[in-house]
């Protein structure tokens, strides 16, 4: 259990600050994470890794010569935002391009993918590599959907060593992908972990039982079995991983050499791990496998989870040389690396925020009303934070409420600041979207950030249309004709643009059990009702449709996101993303008791 906290919302930032203070000779902080404190040869490919806080030493603990050049650090169990990743990548770049490495989770895919696009637009050669080692989260004949768990260490270690060896970006990416294809992991849990500030674990394991196939974000396993002896636990791990031996070793010539990581998840400590490793080593030798430079200990944890995982990577000569190459990081050291001079460049200018665009008088007024609406969004999320977290914990990691609160609070504050600087409606929402994405991280951060930005892009920063005549979620009654009808139509177009952005970026469709299941019916009903009902009534109808659709997700098995692996567990419980969307649009309904800060109240 996470006991020592101050403000739980500041836990990740404070943990990173303490880590930086403890390792000031090895790492330097930048916006969004850390980079090496030592200089790197010009032209060397930069490896930037990352993920959520709660996994130490992953990911910041792996920054140093022979491993990563930088790490982007998100909130607890949440992906870093695209802007954080870009900031770290700019600071790590040495002119040889950058490879972004991360575990295969929806939020990480979204944010690292968007970061790579942004970096390429700036002229940097940016590639991505998602780790897919977890055998419990996908079939052997289709590893692409599998999660990245402790295999992150093995794959990213080889990737970093490839860059350190001077390989070009194409060759380094190939080495990393070959390592990923040759890596398999499986984990066991004996007890769940507790998020900072929470009063109970994300899941529990009954006495005398263990959970098999756990994730590293507090997700429960996919099955429960009786608690075995250490030797029987080792046998289970070895047997299930070696069931895929032929496929995993195919890309390295059917090798009989393996890299090994026996990883503790936070509460299962070293003596227990060594007892298990004794049996693992015996079993692998009996299978004719030679273990090369084994690593036993905590490398990728899940806060205080009781459990362990086994990772095997099949090696050929190239991968073995990279696995055994020297490295010097705060949490992992192998061999000797000559000391290097410290960096002396300025690392304070790597982060870029959207510029403030002064708006016309009408657009500034609309921006102020939108900032008020975001206060309603914030208050709604805060009120329902515990509910959203409980829904998420059914088949996910329980952080949806926390992430939504961080995002909504940041968006409301950023909108107020933009209004104070004279921003028009489009810029107000662009700043709010950037702040939401930045502070929330994870899938919801990416989606809500994109939705707000796309909504604002339709409204723009100039007067006319909605901007000059009320706007917001109500404005004039769209059924009265004249400017009110034009305002309502423009707002409906903005809603559609926001929903389309979510569909495009997230890749989900109705029926996947995501936010989309409420957002699409909302936009559809709003457009259908607007011509006859007027904007206020149409919004109310659309909000009811969203609520009904969100509740209906209880009957759906999740097909995307972290809940996908445990989809059956979610039956009977609605999707937290759909529920949070429905709660927000209901609170913004004109005339709603919760809409004290909504735009029409300020008109």
Q: Which residues are catalytic?
A: 217
Token pair 């692998």 in the structure block, residue: 284
In contact, 471 and 371? CB cutoff 8 Å: no
Separation of alpha carbons 399 and 348, rounded Å: 30
- Cβ atoms within 10 A of the Cβ of 7, count? 10
Return the bridge partners of 28, or none. 35
Separation of alpha carbons 151 and 136, rounded Å: 13
| Residue 96: both structure tokens together | 């040889």
Residue from 64, 95, 102 nearest 80 by CA: 102
Distance set, CA 62 to CA 57, 100, 178, 215, 358 (Å): 7, 14, 20, 20, 43
Q: What are φ and ψ of residue 188, in 5° steps? A: -125, 140
Residue from 137, 62, 79, 102 nearest 406 by CA: 79
- Give, for 186, the enclosing helix (H) or strand (E): strand 183-191
Peptide bond into 592 cis (omega under 30): no
DSSP state of 573: S
| Residue 13: both structure tokens together | 């930032």
> Which DSSP string corresponds to 189-220?
EEE----TT-SS-S----TTEEEES--SSS--
Q: What are φ and ψ of residue 185, in 5° steps? A: -140, 155
Residue from 241, 217, 242, 62 nearest 153 by CA: 62
């Amino acid at each position: 259990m996470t006991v020592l906290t101050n403000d739980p919302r500041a836990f990740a930032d404070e943990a990173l600050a303490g880590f930086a203070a403890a390792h000031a000779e090895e790492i330097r902080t930048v916006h969004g994470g850390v980079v090496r404190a030592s200089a790197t040869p010009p032209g060397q490919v930069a490896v930037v890794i990352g993920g959520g806080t709660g996994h130490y030493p992953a990911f910041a603990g792996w920054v140093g010569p022979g491993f990563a050049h930088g790490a982007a650090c998100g909130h607890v169990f949440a992906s870093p935002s695209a802007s954080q990743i870009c900031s770290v990548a700019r600071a790590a770049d040495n002119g040889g391009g950058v490879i972004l490495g991360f575990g295969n989770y929806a939020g990480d895919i979204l944010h690292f993918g968007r970061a790579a696009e942004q970096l390429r637009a700036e002229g940097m050669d940016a590639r991505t590599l998602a780790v897919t080692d977890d055998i419990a989260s996908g079939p052997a004949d289709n590893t692409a959907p599998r999660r990245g768990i402790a295999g992150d260490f093995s794959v990213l270690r080889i990737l970093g060593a490839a860059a350190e060896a001077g390989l070009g970006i194409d060759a380094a990416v190939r080495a990393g992908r070959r390592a990923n294809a040759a890596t398999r992991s499986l984990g066991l849990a004996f007890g769940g972990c507790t998020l900072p500030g929470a009063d109970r674990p994300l899941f529990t394991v009954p006495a005398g039982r263990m959970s098999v196939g756990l994730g590293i974000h507090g997700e429960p396993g996919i099955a429960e079995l009786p608690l075995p002896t250490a030797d029987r636990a080792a046998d289970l791990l070895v047997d299930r991983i070696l069931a895929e031996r032929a496929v995993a070793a195919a890309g390295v010539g059917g090798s009989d050499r393996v890299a090994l990581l026996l990883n503790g998840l936070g509460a299962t400590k070293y003596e227990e791990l060594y007892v298990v490793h004794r049996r693992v080593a015996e079993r692998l030798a009996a299978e004719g496998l030679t273990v090369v430079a084994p690593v036993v200990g905590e490398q990728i944890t899940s806060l205080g989870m009781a459990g362990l995982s086994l990772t095997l990577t099949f090696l050929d000569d190239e991968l073995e040389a990279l696995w055994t190459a020297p490295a010097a990081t705060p949490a992992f050291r192998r061999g000797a690396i000559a000391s290097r001079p410290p960096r002396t460049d300025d690392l304070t200018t790597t982060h870029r925020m959207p510029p403030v665009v002064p708006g016309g008088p009408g657009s500034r007024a609309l921006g102020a009303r939108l900032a008020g609406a975001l206060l309603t969004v914030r208050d709604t999320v805060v009120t329902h934070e515990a509910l959203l977290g409980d829904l998420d914990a059914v088949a996910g990691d329980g952080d949806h409420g926390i992430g939504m609160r961080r995002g909504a609070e940041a968006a409301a504050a950023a909108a107020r600041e933009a209004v104070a600087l004279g921003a028009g409606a489009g810029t107000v929402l662009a700043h709010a979207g950037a702040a939401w994405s930045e502070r929330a991280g994870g899938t919801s951060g990416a989606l809500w950030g994109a939705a707000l930005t796309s909504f604002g892009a339709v409204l723009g920063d100039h007067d006319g249309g909605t901007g000059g005549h009320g706007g917001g979620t109500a404005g004039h009654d769209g059924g009265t004709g004249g400017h009110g009808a034009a305002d309502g139509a423009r707002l409906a177009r903005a809603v559609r643009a926001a929903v389309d952005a979510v569909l495009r970026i997230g890749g989900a469709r109705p029926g996947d059990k995501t936010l989309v299941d409420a957002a699409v019916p909302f936009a559809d009903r709003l457009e259908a009702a607007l011509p006859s009902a007027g904007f206020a009534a149409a919004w109310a109808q659309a909000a009811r449709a969203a609520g009904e659709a969100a509740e209906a997700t209880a009957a759906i098995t999740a097909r995307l996101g972290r809940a996908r692996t445990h989809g059956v567990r979610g039956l009977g419980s609605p999707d937290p993303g759909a529920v949070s969307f429905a709660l927000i649009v209901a609170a913004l309904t004109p005339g709603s008791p919760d809409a004290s800060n909504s735009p029409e109240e300020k008109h």
